[in-house]
Every structure is written in C-alpha cells, then in structure tokens.
Chain A
Amino acid sequence: MSHTDEPILRTSPARFGKLMAILIGIMVVGGVIFFANYDYWNSYLPTAGKIQEEGTEHKVAQGTATGKTIEVNANFVESSDFKTYAFNALSGSDRNPEINAHVGDKIVFHVKNAGKSFHAFGVTASKEGPGPVIDGTAVGTADNPLKPGKGGDATFVASAPGEYYYICVVPGHRELGMEGKIEITAAGAATESTAAEVKPTGNKVEFTMSFEMSNDFKTYAFNALSGPDSNPDIKVKSGDTVTIHVKNPTKSFHAFGVVSDVDNPQSVIWNSAVATPDNPLKPGKDGDVTFVAGAPGTYHYICTVPGHATLGMQGKFIVQ
C-alpha cells in the first residue's frame, strides 16, 4: 500500500481552528441559552405529581390583624449528625419557643436557615404532617426550600382561637423536632389592640358615663372618684352599635373618646368622640355619641383633654 504517489492530506492549523471554532461556538451558545433561563428548566412539577398533591391540600386563610404585633425569630438548626432538628436551639429553654397570642395578634416570623440542610417554614393548624400551610405563612416550600443562610419573613394572624404550629414543611423535619406551638386565645387580656373597624352587627348597647372630679382638682375619674364604680369596665361585642351618654357635672371642661392608646388622647377610634379638647363639654353640659365597636381587643375610654387620662379619667373599653 506504499505505492501511492498521491499527496497525503494532513490536518492543517487553519482547518483545525475552524473545527474548534464551530465546536466551542456551539457550546457557548448552548451555555448562554441554558444559564439565561436557568430557573425555567427545573420549574414545575409534572402533571401526575400535581394531581397527586391536589388531593391532599386545602388552603386555610388568615384572620385580620387587630391586636398587637409579636416578633418571633425562627431559626432552623440541626445537629451535625443530621439526627436532631429544632428551631432556635437544639435543647434547653430556647428550643422551639412557644408563642402565646390572641386572635387578631399579628405574629411576624423572621425565618432563617441557620442549619446546613434545606428547610422551609410554614404555620399549620394540623397536628401532624407537613401541612396544609396557612396562606401567607410559607417561607420556602418542600419542593423549593431555603438554602443555608437564606430566610424570609412570614406573617400569621389567627382568625380563630386554638392550637397552631409553626413547622418546617420539609417532610419528616416536623417529626424530627422542627415544630413549635402557637397558642391562640380569644382576645381579652391584651393591653394594646389595633383598632380596626367592623360592620355593625345590629346589637345596640348604651352606657352612661359622667366625668367626676375632686374639689381640689387632683383626682379625676369616671362615674365615681373611688370604689368599685370608679372607672368601670365597658364590655361590648365587636360590631355592637354603642351609644354613650356623657355627662359633665364637674366644674371643669372635659371631652370623651375611646382611644387605642391610653397615653395618646388623640388616638380616638371609631368616631367615638364626644367633644374634643379644643371644643370640650362645658360644666353641666351633656353629649351623646353612637358608634360601632370595632375589632376585638382591649381599648380605653378616656377624657381626651390632655393630662386628664393620666390623672385618672380612664377606664377599660373591652371589645369581645
């Protein structure tokens, strides 16, 4: 076979360069397409999987925030042998802190993955299993969990009293220890409530409040200067149409209002004012106000003249 005198073709650098240009060009183009749409390629569950999931999920909605805001840090932690899981601490009193709150309180969870594995956060009413998670309380999901170091915020407002749980929704992690209790009681003993308006329920209640003042101008109160009748608690139900007859038998000027902040005479809510500090009730004058009691909580009725509430003209206005 050596008797050929035809030229033997050898690869030349130019042709080789063209080959490499084509190959590498294709790789670069492919890479650009891949990375530009990186999140798209692995983005949705197959239909069969979705069908299976739909059978087990039903969404639960949150309540309206009318009470105070509670901030909670929820950090996923785990032991290095992958066996112990918890929130905040692996043992001790800081582990899986229990949260006590009332209906209407807004619990803000600052969630962070302080572990090395993957976690996701959610609040659920169910006693076992990873869900269903209440809408709006999820930070990450089991299919798209939080990487170590990542986190987010979730807000939970309970709409009804009961036991809720904040958990890691990755299957198994709740059973392994990533679960904390949220005890929600009906609104009552909270000291501050955010006063939201509600629709009137049609129920009508009436109260009579009269300003009382001692002769030396030092003691102020409603209805009586001391004793069990002094500064009585007013209890109404949320949605009640409340009428308050306000009397001023004192020698000074007063004004009435239900406020959200007992220290702030200007925080009158629900249009419950009778007269104002700029235009108070003169001695001997009366006034009425009718308003709808809003979201449940503990508020105060005060004399809105600056200083009078601090001197004693305040009482609890409890909306249930």
Chain B
Amino acid sequence: MGHDTAEWVMVGVIIAILLYVGVDSWVVQKEVEEVPADAETVKVIGQQWFWSFEHQDGTKEVNTLHLKKGHAYNFEIYGKDVMHSFNIPDWVVFEDVVPGHVNHAWFAPDQVGEFPIQCREYCGLLHYNMRGSLVVEDTP
C-alpha cells in the first residue's frame, strides 16, 4: 500500500490549494459586495442594443456616462427586453441585466479617463455593437 501515500499527498495538496482559493474568494467577495453608504445611485437601463443611464438628480445619458473620480457609485441595473450584462471591464463592474429584476454593482473610480462599457451576455443581432463609454472626470 506504500504507493498510495503519494496519492493521498496529491489529494492533500489539491485540497489545500482549493481551500486557499475558497477562503480568499470568500473574503474578497465579502469586501466587494459591501456597498459604501455614500454611494451615489446611477440607474442603468440595458435594452437591445444600447445603454442608457439616469443619474440621481434626474439627468439622463445615452451610451456615454459621465462620472466623477473619487466618488462611489452604485449601479441599479434594469432591463427592458432580454438579458444583457452590464460590464465596465477596466473597473471590473459586472452584473447581469435581467428583465423583471433589479441588480446592483458598485465601484469607485480613482482614475480619470475614458473606459469602454460593453455587453457581456448574448442578446441578439447587435450584441457586439452594444458598446458605450464611461468618462471619469476630475472632481473640481
């Protein structure tokens, strides 16, 4: 039975690695899911095949979203027709758009610039074209 020890060791190593992955994920995800209390709500409406946004003060934007650096924003994500996925890859903002549900994702950009917004769930004819822009401006 000596040759089985190697197998136990291997299984042990795998389990150890996975435990690490699991615990670290747990910790990080818990942090990520905690929305800061001062986050400004921005409504995101995903529909075939464009994004529209509504700021807390009522201003509406289509496809290009202007936000301020250093502020926390909580996206309230609505859908009008089919499933989409709201994604700002540079900021790891990612949450599905599910019609009939309201999903949330938050982030706090700390860099000025223009970042792409894309759809990451197949939604039909112009899924590939459902791109927008996030413009993060400096706080004056």
Residues of A that sit less than 8 Å from B by CB: 82-83, 117-118, 143, 145, 170-173, 175-176
Contacts and interface: CB of A to CB of B under 8 A. Distances in A.
A118 B126 contact: yes
Interface in B61-77: 62-64
Given A82-B131, A83-B63, A83-B131, A176 B126 contact: no
Choose among A117, A145, A170, A172 the residue with the greatest number of B CB atoms under 10 Å from its CB: A172
A82 B129 CA distance: 7
A176 B50 contact: yes
Given A82-B131, A83-B133, A172 B125 contact: no
B63 A175 contact: yes
B47 A171 contact: yes
B126 A117 contact: yes
Contacts of B129: 82, 117
Nearest to A49: B81
A82 B118 CA distance: 12
A175 B131 contact: no
Interface of B: 47-50, 52, 62-64, 125-126, 129, 131, 133
A176 B131 contact: no
The 3 lowest CB-CB distance pairs between A and B, nearest first, are A172-B50, A175-B62, A171-B48
Given A82-B131, A83-B131, A175-B52, A170 B126 contact: yes
A199 B138 CA distance: 67
Nearest to B63: A176
Contacts of B49: 170-172
A44 B49 CA distance: 20
A117 B131 CA distance: 13
B137 to A, nearest CB: 17
A173 B48 CA distance: 11
Contacts of A118: 125-126
Contacts of B131: 82-83
A118 B49 CA distance: 11
Contacts of A83: 63-64, 131, 133
16 contacts: A82-B131, A83-B64, A83-B131, A83-B133, A117-B126, A118-B126, A145-B125, A170-B49, A171-B47, A171-B48, A172-B47, A172-B63, A175-B50, A175-B52, A176-B50, A176-B63
